[in-house]
Structure 1
């Protein structure tokens, strides 16, 4: 009989029974939906009362092009937005910076000024639509622009729902779009959390992302462990500023993947929810039950999809949606079948949206809370995953904690090591991938030339640069100099930089 192992590393038995749950206590470990420790979900009735929100990752070219795609998806039933920014925007470069050459608008929307954000959200009521901003190193100024747009629309601050990603530690670990060293970067994370908690109570000013670390190569257990460690670091950061934990913890959110084996992914989230609840209640002494809730976007990473026979990715996406639903997602997002080739086409994004809608309306996955609860396999898997996550957390502590592990590069080295091991297993066929390393036929499958490829238009760059030049020419240079001077002065001190940043983006 073939030996099987979870991506987390522990063995999968051929059958499970009551003996595998000998150490599980129902009240302590499982509980009821909507009750501590939230193993079964953070709401009592989950999707019977409120379905998961559906938000595709969207952004390309100019703000006007992105605005049109937003409205296209919303017209087909998408009820929330997730904004992609181009690399120059993510790295704080203006579109006319020489370093931005050939990258303006290529993999996301270009944003240079407040006018760009106004154009991107024209006709979209920001007091009624929840918007995620996938931005980290530049989260403070981009979110300040977003708040300014909402105010110009007349939206009351208490009705604005936005989620800037603002998770800089995972940028150091996995993505690389950090701008400043670790400590000043963390200062900006804390400034945005504090500012939003005080002025925008429905915003989620940080979204802790195990997602990107998993995409970079870590295991399922490491994804959850590193996410929990990063969340703890941000909680400690805010406590050191003198904030009470219940003043900000209820708005911490998470962003994780579910592209692996369905039952392992479900177990990962069930274990993660109860570990997070215990951490916030027992370690950080949070008393508000909302502080104990692990609220997460769950989706699939593009690495789950393959170039070979791209239509198969539609099927993979459906299984990811099912895993996310069974795992208790608050928000769901799917990669598109053409993601191994290109920026998603409108057709591909609509298919991904329809996949989530079919999962919600036709599959029955939303009919009852945590339908896999009580399964010998799933409960044993949840306990095994919890133990492995705790082992990984202990490993992080031996590195000196997550912040020190980031500074030293130790955590990055571990993720790279795991990525290498995973690729070896893919090449060997130990991890099967249909039409890639198994069921491949007589000849290797070539790229599908019928996939619609995104054609980057250089005129988008020209238009963006011309718009930037016009704004520079027409603005009040004196007001700009004053605002930037105040920001520079405040940066040398210890005050919250969101206030001068907000003034500067409006100048």
Structure 2
């Protein structure tokens, strides 16, 4: 949208870029502590990135869905990986049986990555990859593919989730013990700051903490405590906070309590600005909390699934009013299966209707100054700070996770929430109130078990045709580096370029680091 373009309501009333009380001029968007947004003009300058999370079955099938989403107006891709890929097993491994391609796409080697992005120039899109324990390997494959496409690595952009602490606390797809896992993360920070400077090297994730049953305040507190642990680990490695903190991003959930979610996002920005400042960040870019939001998967119901369209719209609107930089809206049928194309399209259209029809993007932080929103923002910040102070007293997030503190807090909240649903104190429309007899769902999306066989055949063919000497040499050098202190990313990049598989690379690191 042109910066000088006059924006008016349907009645011709002009909308100003920002509204503020004369007494509150020091609290402006784009200025520390960024409560009101990280950019001065927010969505008047540039809309949020409309990302749709996709990835299932084989790289070939996921590639078709990506081309479909891009044709419908998506401007960022978000890749879901299957469980074996997330925990470092190739599709032909015994432990992969029954899981290949089910909750995401199976990626066994650079060959699969080439197929996944066939016909898509990496320099023209941003890609978010939801991957943690094997994040360095998938990032290495993405970098190797960008090099093959002839892209300038200094210009490619995207995000790797790379947040292992929330895996120990809430999700479970870790491989190695915490210390070597933290080393891999800071190796990614260091490598990308030099080689791929526009890449977001971590997406510190509250999403899965919330999905595991935490409250909004716990999601905020535990996510920022994890963020603080990553800042300290990078500082201990000698990295410059004014450089690496600019490439940290966050990933939050947006559930259904409309005003609480908006206040949570406003509090998050303010708290992170103070945390980074306390740890030495002086550059405003290093003090800004940039975040992606996904609507709440666990709030979706299998009963009366079309009700989920309303839930997702409500949650998406809260994320936009809260100032998100990027947004994924869930498909209405996700409580039944992976989303169908029809559900994915409605999810994307939901974002487009909010962006282009609702008027909420016409002014920055439109709810600022509401007595309720400002008070709620302060209260959420105060409640989250109590948790952070307690975690700091334990020695930080890693220690709190090792002592099972964060896991127990989440479990207690999840239990309490379930009790409230079962007693009817918490109303879920179509589940414990306004329920009705329903027919079995019609078209749901199913992934065929035969894809494990297809992936296994691809791996066998790859191993028969690649240069096995190059593979052995690169894996051997990776093992030596892992036993020492060198940055491991260049060794992983060389390994994937020789077409070593994800499982082979993870096995080398298991051999050195052990499993947790």
Shared fold by TM > 0.5?
Answer: yes
Structure 2 CA distance for aligned equivalents of residues 399 and 184 of structure 1:
21
> Conserved in 2, the CA contact under 8 Å of 1:62 and 1:105?
yes
The within-5 A match list for 1:49-198 is 49-198=45-194
Q: TM-score, structure 2 length as denominator?
A: 0.91
Bigger relative contact order, structure 1 or 2 (CA pairs below 8 A, ≥6 apart): 2
Structure 2 CA distance for aligned equivalents of residues 359 and 218 of structure 1:
28
Partner of 1:276: 272
Partner of 2:482: 491
Partner of 1:42: 38
Offset of residue 30 of structure 1: 7.2
Aligned residue for 1:55, secondary structure, equals strand
Q: Alpha-carbon deviations, 1:357-404, whole Å to 9, x = none?
A: 111111111111100001011111111111111112122234432110
Structure 2 CA distance for aligned equivalents of residues 44 and 339 of structure 1:
36
> Conserved in 2, the CA contact under 8 Å of 1:30 and 1:40?
no
> Conserved in 1, the CA contact under 8 Å of 2:107 and 2:113?
yes
The within-5 A match list for 1:442-453 is 445-446=436-437, 448-453=439-444
Match status 1:297 vs 2:288: no
Partner of 1:332: 327
Structure 2 CA distance for aligned equivalents of residues 481 and 160 of structure 1:
30
Aligned residue for 1:482, secondary structure, equals helix
Partner of 2:27: 31
Aligned residue for 2:124, secondary structure, equals coil
Cα 1:29–1:139 change in 2 (3 A) is: farther
Q: Pick the aligned partner of 2:280 from 282, 285, 295.
A: 285
Structure 1 CA distance for aligned equivalents of residues 154 and 30 of structure 2:
25
Q: Pick the aligned partner of 2:459 from 460, 468, 478.
A: 468
Structure 1 CA distance for aligned equivalents of residues 214 and 62 of structure 2:
32
Aligned residue for 1:157, secondary structure, equals coil
Unaligned 5+ runs, structure 2: 1-20, 499-516
Offset of residue 325 of structure 1: 0.6
Structure 1 moving runs of 4+ over 6 Å: 25-30
Partner of 1:224: 220
Aligned residue for 1:127, secondary structure, equals helix
Match status 1:394 vs 2:389: yes
Query: CA RMSD for the aligned pairs?
Result: 1.5
Partner of 1:421: 416
Q: Pick the aligned partner of 2:339 from 312, 323, 344.
A: 344
Structure 2 CA distance for aligned equivalents of residues 301 and 477 of structure 1:
45
Structure 2 CA distance for aligned equivalents of residues 485 and 248 of structure 1:
30
Offset of residue 338 of structure 1: 0.4
The within-5 A match list for 1:204-283 is 204-281=200-277, 283=278
Structure 1 CA distance for aligned equivalents of residues 437 and 246 of structure 2:
48
> Conserved in 2, the CA contact under 8 Å of 1:259 and 1:299?
no
Structure 2 CA distance for aligned equivalents of residues 278 and 335 of structure 1:
32
Cα 1:382–1:149 change in 2 (3 A) is: same
> Conserved in 2, the CA contact under 8 Å of 1:256 and 1:297?
yes
Structure 1 CA distance for aligned equivalents of residues 331 and 317 of structure 2:
15
Unaligned 5+ runs, structure 1: 1-24
Offset of residue 416 of structure 1: 0.9
> Conserved in 1, the CA contact under 8 Å of 2:256 and 2:314?
no
Q: TM-score, structure 1 length as denominator?
A: 0.92
Structure 2 CA distance for aligned equivalents of residues 26 and 431 of structure 1:
41
> Conserved in 2, the CA contact under 8 Å of 1:84 and 1:108?
yes
Q: Pick the aligned partner of 1:500 from 468, 491, 498.
A: 491
> Conserved in 1, the CA contact under 8 Å of 2:222 and 2:406?
no
Offset of residue 448 of structure 1: 4.8
Partner of 1:377: 372
Bigger mean CA deviation after superposition, 48-57 or 455-464: 455-464
Offset of residue 438 of structure 1: 2.1
> Conserved in 2, the CA contact under 8 Å of 1:30 and 1:39?
no
> Conserved in 2, the CA contact under 8 Å of 1:406 and 1:412?
yes
Q: Alpha-carbon deviations, 1:161-212, whole Å to 9, x = none?
A: 1201000000111110000011111111111111111111110010000110
